[in-house]
Structure 1
Amino acid sequence: MADEMTAEPDLARRLAAEAVGSFFLFCVVIGSGIMGETLSGGNVAIALLGNTLATGAILFVIILIFAPLSGAHFNPAVTLVFLVRRELSVRDAILYVLAQLVGGIIGVWAAHLMFDLDILQFSTKARTGTGQWAGEAIATFGLLMTILGAVRYRPTWVAPAVGLYISAGYWFTSSTSFANPAITIARGLSDTFAGIAPADIGPFLIAQIFGALIAAGLGGWLFSQQTSPDSAKIRA
């Protein structure tokens, strides 16, 4: 019985966890954006605040629930970094990304359904320019550094750390911190508050992958196994 409890979940359950978690994450990002824009009376700051709080909260919940199953990636950039670190096989990484995309896009469609919008649509919201591309690179870099550092030294704090980081990212980055190639693609399928025009998706993806790879290199060195967790204790 003990061996069954400690064994790694089979691939089917890990993929299901990635799909279901992505479903809720993407559904909340789009749905809270629609709700925020509807209730804010044209005040974009209020709409963004609602979008922020909902996204940070759902990240906390789904990471807490699904991390023991799949590692709670819900993000191809995260999956890429764990592939580079050789903690995930190429086959599993590809399947993780497919599960994230499929589950997430269904989540976008579910948000449209709940708010009586056309289920199939494309965004017309322009998000482009050097500033926003830099914002995405920095946002993704920071997200992966948060994950790698928390996994190394404070594994029980990964869920709150990621939720708080993305909540901050909505406000300190020019791009509102997509930091996720799968959700960037899915947002292109929603002509709502959180959408992005399909023509603007490519540079966002490049910036996100760049930020993730920089984090993989720096984080691999900074949070290496040669660094004792005891040396990272917070000192007053």
Structure 2
Amino acid sequence: MDSQQLPRFQVTALPPDASIAEAWRTHWREYLMEATQTGVLLFCIGLFAALLYSGAAFQLPQAMRPFAMGAGVSVATILLIRSRFGRRTGAHLNPAVTLAYSYLRRVHRWDAAFYVVCQFLGAVSGMWLARSVLGDRLAYPPVCYAVTTPGSEGEVIAFLAEWSLSALLMSIVLFTANHKTLVRYAPFAVGLLTIFYYGFCASLSGFSVNPARSFASAVFAWIWHGLWIYLVAPVGGALSAAALYARWMGRDHVYCAKVFHDTRSTCPFRCSFLELHGEDSESGG
């Protein structure tokens, strides 16, 4: 489809010299939406962990529980990305994703700062709500607020796992979200990867790839062992994937900072999404 035939959407990107006050006035709705979505994600993580691992609800074989956990979190993530809020904010839900897009110059520095703060606040709020609803089933072992700690292989393996998995996640987001044919499937690619992570990799690091998610669990479980891994490795992995993508494809081939872009929702980023369609149609791709 020619870019001229696509419906236009409003872009509210900040100018490069925007102040922090201007950023808040312009995008406070997006910041609160991002906090809300991250909170819902953490509530779902707490809910599924309590249902599957506390023994109070579902009695699944031990080997099946990680896959069931991944499936639950996957469905929640897809719904959030494709929700009205997700279509507007880009549904990063993860400071590592936001910082990677900031590195790629698609997110203004003040937007990135507010997004990250709101992701942490939203994550803590979501886990607090889960604790309020689920009580002891969320607090006691083996659930422990779904806290992420290094597996039996140690901190080095956990660090490498979180770095690699975060790099793979960001690579898939960038590849699908910036391809005319695949862009509509980006949420499902993230969802499938989530099932894979939980099913096959959770034993290495507990599966985080999200600093806000691990921080929220650590706050309520009061277990801080290895937290630095979950703050550093996901960001490093996402940034390394962004750097490789920019070197391979060029920064001009990052059309927006949304995980899933439609042509109706307001976009708060430096957005050239319509160019994706125009470029592909002209090249016959």
Cα drift, residue 68 of structure 1: 2.4
In 1, Cα distance between equivalents of 2:34 and 2:160: 28
Question: Equivalent residue for 1:44?
Answer: 62
Give the Cα–Cα distance (whole angstroms) in 2 for the partners of residues 232 and 47 of structure 1: 45
Matched, 1:165 2:181: no
Q: 1:8 aligns with which of 7, 11, 25?
A: 11
Question: Which stretch of the first structure deviates more once superposed, 37-46 or 146-155?
Answer: 37-46
- In 1, are the aligned partners of 2:148 and 2:214 still within 8 Å (CA)? no
Q: TM-score, normalised by structure 2?
A: 0.70
| Residue matched to 1:204 | 230
Paired with 1:116 and 1:101, the residues of 2 have a C-alpha distance of 22
Higher RCO, 1 vs 2 (CA within 8 Å, ≥6 residues apart): 2
The one-letter code matched in structure 1 to 2:63 is A
Residue 23 and residue 151 in structure 1: after superposition, are their counterparts in 2 closer, same or farther (change >3 A)? same
Q: CA deviation at 1:176?
A: 4.5
Asked which structure has the greater CA Rg, the reply is 2
In structure 1, the partner of 2:241 is: 215
Check the 8 A contact 2:52/2:60 in 1, yes or no. no
- For 1:61, which of 59, 66, 79 is the aligned residue? 79
Summarize deviations over 1:163-200 as a string: whole Å, max 9, x none: 11111111232224311111111121344xxxx93121
For residues 213 and 181 of structure 1, the distance between their equivalents in structure 2, rounded to whole angstroms, comes to: 14
Alignment of 1:54-93 (within 5 A): 54-65=72-83, 66-93=85-112
- Distance (whole Å) between structure 1 residues aligned to residue 9 and residue 280 of structure 2: 23
Mark the CA change 1:143 to 1:188 in structure 2 (over 3 Å): closer, same or farther.
Answer: same
Q: Letter of the aligned partner of 1:26 in structure 2?
A: L
Which stretch shows the higher mean deviation, 40-49 or 157-166? 40-49
Take 2:234 and 2:52, find their aligned partners in 1: how far apart are those partners? 26
2:22 corresponds to which residue?
none
- How far is the alpha carbon of 1:67 from its aligned partner? 3.4
Percent of aligned positions with the same letter in both sequences?
Answer: 22
TM-score (norm 1): 0.84
The 1-side partners of 2:284 and 2:36 are apart by 34
1:204 Cα deviation from its structure 2 partner: 2.4
Question: Contact conserved, 1:33 with 1:47, CA < 8 A, in 2?
Answer: no
Gaps of 5+ in 2: 1-7, 13-25, 254-275
| Contact 1:74 1:100 survives alignment (8 Å) | yes
1:186-220: CA deviations, max 9, x gaps? 121344xxxx9312110222211221111011112
Flag the 1:119–1:52 CA change in 2: closer, same or farther, 3 A: closer
1:175 alignment counterpart? 205
